[in-house]
Structure 1
Amino acid sequence: MYLQPDERTKTIREAHVVMRRIGTELVRDKKAAVMRELNDQNGGVEKKDVLGRDLLSLLIKANMATNIPDNQRLTDEEVLAQIPTFLVAGHETTSTAAAWCLYALARNPRAQQKLREELLNAQTEFPSADELAALPYLDNVVRESLRLHAPVAFMLRGAEQDDVIPTSEPFVDRNGETQNGIRVGKGNRVIMSILALNHSTEIWGDDALEFRPERWESPPADISNIPGVWGHMLTFSGGPHACIGFRFSVAELKALIFTLVRALTFEFAADPEDVTSVGMFTQRPALRSEVKKGTQLPFFIRPYVPA
């Protein structure tokens, strides 16, 4: 019996076809541009010659460098496969993080104003990454927002061999036996909650579910044991499969918040208690009363006028 694909499956397939077509054209055009540049230079390109400003040019030039081993080069198919990564991991999660950060600041007008005062005192309207990193309250706000409202709620990992995951405390299994670890078999998939750890009252205190940027002025000592790749939390995961673009994502988020909060004020145009998260992987804001309308976060946005 053949089952017809539902509308969602059809939409996903159509999107893949479009992305592949556009991606193939992008890769072909970028490679041609690099080859023209090489012909003009009458020589090969090396890693140090990679000067392209966009990610795809950077990847293609690095991949064509003469001083890297052949076993480290990507095929055109592998380069093409990175384009959805640029779009989804490099765009959607950061934009979602920015939305949740503005949500947190709208719920905390004092924090929003305190941040705005720091940003307005900055010596430039176009700060570098180092200048953004030197703004302490902006750093606190971004850390707290990414802790409380991590765009990705969980991680999925597959076991390559039989193993036992140790637990911090013994537990009683469904057979009434006390265990000190969780057995996993080769091929089992393990789901780990990012939000459960980021929201743990045992780690962050009784106010773990509150947006309080000041907590980062004296963070809990226990967070040093969290194996996250950034900020002593699991927002960007950890280990060899951690987010490879976390530094870029944090810098991009800071730049967005710097630009927006410096110039604009954000107030809710809906009941903040009505805001919830939707999505299986990326947690996007929506309204409980209008879930069928999909992602939305209504704000009154006004130019900031000093009192």
Structure 2
Amino acid sequence: MDQLNSLPYLDRVVRETLRLYAPVPETTRVAEKDDVIPVSEPFVDRFGQVQDSIRISKGASILIPILALNRSKKYWGEDAHEFKPERWESSSEAAASVPGVWSHLLTFLGGPRACIGYRFSVVETKALIFVLVRAFEFALAVPPEEIEKKTSVVQRPQLRSAPDQGAQMPLLVTRYTRE
């Protein structure tokens, strides 16, 4: 653990990966009571009325767009869709307002319904990357345009030419040798 925690660039890579490629792109909640949710910016509804809140009825499903918020230019800047681990060298003031349980991201949600295993997930991810990247080199075994995302509860890669074969990511793996 101490060795993993002493690797700041590994930490930045994991944060950026989980920001940009959250395994669970969205989730839902069900309202337990009638409520009014304020919005950060007024919007025009389908009837042309300007609204500063959203009325929610008991029993209504509420979509939480995790991936959309993690990639929002409002919080992450114009380069929000780019993979840039360097963005974690200093935190954005706008991103600091995101109520996630980890790193101002909604990857693991926030509040009382946040993922209870997020710490384990982060450490496990760091450990896997630390071990694998030091020992192996990876390359796609198919052209990049052959890979697409399949989303159900979690996102997984699949081949465009074989969607009926389920999740897959063909890789060429070779042992890394230091020169």
With the shorter chain as reference, the TM-score category is over 0.9
Is the aligned partner of 1:207 residue 2:79? yes
Normalization by structure 2: what TM-score?
0.95
| Partner of residue 277 from structure 1, selected from 135, 145, 149 | 149
| Partner of residue 173 from structure 1, selected from 38, 45, 57 | 45
Counting strand residues as a fraction of each chain, which structure ranks higher?
Answer: 2
Tell me how far apart the structure 1 counterparts of residues 81 and 145 of structure 2 sit (CA, whole Å): 14
Runs of 4+ in 1 over 3 A off after TM superposition: none
Q: CA RMSD in A?
A: 1.2
Is the aligned partner of 1:217 residue 2:89? yes
CA contact 2:74–2:94 (8 Å) conserved in 1: no
Q: CA deviation at 1:300?
A: 1.0
CA contact 1:275–1:287 (8 Å) conserved in 2: yes
Q: CA deviation at 1:194?
A: 0.3
Q: Could you say what secondary structure the match of 2:78 adopts?
A: coil
Q: Which runs of 5+ in 1 are unaligned?
A: 1-128
Q: Which amino acid aligns with 2:119?
A: R
Is the aligned partner of 1:268 residue 2:140? yes
Tell me how far apart the structure 2 counterparts of residues 137 and 290 of structure 1 sit (CA, whole Å): 36
Encode CA deviations 1:44-73: one digit per residue, 9 max, x unaligned.
xxxxxxxxxxxxxxxxxxxxxxxxxxxxxx
Encode CA deviations 1:161-220: one digit per residue, 9 max, x unaligned.
111111111111112211111110011110110000011112112221111111111232
Counting helix residues as a fraction of each chain, which structure ranks higher?
Answer: 1
Q: CA deviation at 1:275?
A: 2.1
Normalization by structure 1: what TM-score?
0.56
Q: Which runs of 5+ in 2 are unaligned?
A: none
CA contact 1:155–1:237 (8 Å) conserved in 2: no
Name 1:153's counterpart in structure 2: 25
Tell me how far apart the structure 2 counterparts of residues 273 and 200 of structure 1 sit (CA, whole Å): 25
Q: How many residues align?
A: 179
Q: CA deviation at 1:249?
A: 0.8
Q: Could you say what secondary structure the match of 2:145 adopts?
A: helix
Encode CA deviations 1:246-294: one digit per residue, 9 max, x unaligned.
1111111111111111100111111223322113211111122322221
Task: Point out which structure has higher relative CO (alpha carbons under 8 A, 6+ apart).
Answer: 2
Name 2:131's counterpart in structure 1: 259
Encode CA deviations 1:66-91: one digit per residue, 9 max, x unaligned.
xxxxxxxxxxxxxxxxxxxxxxxxxx
Quote the sequence identity (%): 55
Q: Which has the larger radius of gyration?
A: 1
Q: Which amino acid aligns with 2:144?
A: P
What does residue range 176-255 of structure 1 map to in structure 2 within 5 Å? 176-255=48-127
Tell me how far apart the structure 2 counterparts of residues 216 and 286 of structure 1 sit (CA, whole Å): 30
Tell me how far apart the structure 2 counterparts of residues 244 and 221 of structure 1 sit (CA, whole Å): 26
CA contact 2:69–2:106 (8 Å) conserved in 1: yes
Is the aligned partner of 1:288 residue 2:160? yes
